[in-house]
Amino acid sequence: MFASIPRWLRLVVYVQIALVFAIPMGGWILQSAGEAADMRAYPPPGRMVDLGGRRIHIYCEGERRVGPLVVFNADISDSGLVWRGVQKALGGRLRSCAIDRAGLGWSDPGAEDRSITATARELHRVLAASGEAPPYLPVGHGLGALQLLVMAREHPAEIAGIVLVDPLPPDCLKQRLDGVAAKVEGAERQAIREKVDEIVAERGPCPDGDGGTPLLSWLARIGMVRALAGGNFDATSPMPELLPVHRALKLRTQATDAVLAESRTAYVGMAEARQALALLKAKPSVVLSRGRMGNFANDQSLLEQQADPATLAFERAQLRYIEERHQAMTAGAAESSHRVATESGHYIPISEPRLVADAIARLAASLSPSAAPAK
């Protein structure tokens, strides 16, 4: 049968079959070599804390004198590197430690369950195993704020105060989207209402996470993410000088796996996070809100110039909704306050690290002597 096929056509077919196997294999080799080279170039700057066979990276700065230990936890998919600018801005006024959650940064991969409660308990285990003694002053960003809130609720005696940086309102998807849609003004309200209903019908009123496809993990393994990423990670680098290491960490295969794991189960535990909000009335606390639309400082200008009317209306409504929810978190609490970062989108730790550092330092200074670590 094959004898009747021209030789040149058979060669074309053979080459194509070889490429099907050779390209992924070559990509895997290049990815593995790239990761190994990156890790040699950028070894862990902090300590690797053993959690029974898994190691979690914790990076600390400053000496422990009088006052609480500041504990940083980043937003979903981000490593503790995001906090480096804030740690620098603290200038040694307090000892602070930023934790890389499992699979992110320099930490080893962890369990598939990345729910709010499971992650909160893992964070506490890291602190206990690190030898860093309470009292703690948790500082969390986005979803990471909710994880630290739940940790604080489970160990209130160890908590001196709390700082939440643009925290995710601990509501189910439907509640959040309904709240935003209710604040849309003008002719776009009906279109946005219909889009919200469509999203909720597709994903459910309270999904476990944002989803994610295993295809991304496969593409990372054969080097496609590394080849195509370009400058996609630049905006989340805390400082220009840290951009090379930031990219290297984001391009690790295990980082892609961790992002997918967090995306799949990130919102499990919202009920526990809502209950933990009561702690803001019992402990000195600060809630910082974004003052601009989008994730980064220049996103608002881009939205105003390029976004269609419906998108712009939604983003404006979301900004109002988030600020009101944050105000409600501290309403009526004598030792809690709310502040807006007027020059920042969601990534306040990157846009205004000094603002975050000053909020932490002022809160720590206001704590009673009983909050000082035991000798």
Tell me, yes or no, whether 329 lies in a domain.
yes
Q: In the prediction, which pLDDT does 215 show?
A: 75
CA atoms of 144 and 40, how far apart (whole Å): 29
Q: What whole-number distance in Å separates Cα of residue 347 and Cα of residue 294? A: 9
CATH code at position 255: 3.40.50.1820
* 24 lies in some domain: no
Q: How many domains is the chain partitioned into structurally?
A: 1
The model's pLDDT over 328-370, given as tens digits with 9 standing for 90+, comes to: 999 988 889 999 999 999 999 999 999 999 999 999 999 855 4
DSSP designation for 135: P
| Contact present, 263 and 203 (Cβ < 8 Å) | no
Give me 33's structure tokens.
């070599």
Q: So what's the pLDDT on residue 231?
A: 67
Q: Fill in the amino acid letter for 371.
A: A
Question: pLDDT digit string (tens) for 15-44?
Answer: 555 555 455 555 557 767 777 888 899 999
Domain span at residue 99 reads 47-367
Look at residue 295 and tell me if it is in a domain.
yes
Identify whether 181 is part of a domain. yes
Model-wide pTM > 0.85: yes
Token readout for 79 is: 């490593």
Per-residue pLDDT at 25: 59
How high is the pLDDT of residue 6? 64
Q: How confident is the model at residue 370, as a pLDDT?
A: 44
Q: Is residue 87 part of a domain?
A: yes
pLDDT at 236: 81
The runs of H, that is alpha helices, within 207-242 are: 214-221, 224-228
Query: pLDDT at position 274, please?
Result: 95
CA quadruple 337, 338, 339, 341: dihedral sign: positive
Residue numbers of the chain with a pLDDT score lower than 50: 21, 370-375
Q: Give a yes or no: residue 68 inside a domain.
A: yes
Residue 368 Cα distances to 70, 91, 97, 166, 287, angstroms: 16, 22, 22, 26, 20
Residue 37 lies in a domain: no
Is 22 domain-assigned? no
Give buried/exposed letters for 175-203 (b at 16+ CB in 10 A, else e): ebbbbbbebbeeebbeebeeebeeebeeb
What are the two backbone dihedrals, phi and then psi, of residue 69, each rounded to the nearest 5 degrees? -85, 120
Rounded CA gap, 156 and 358, in Å? 24
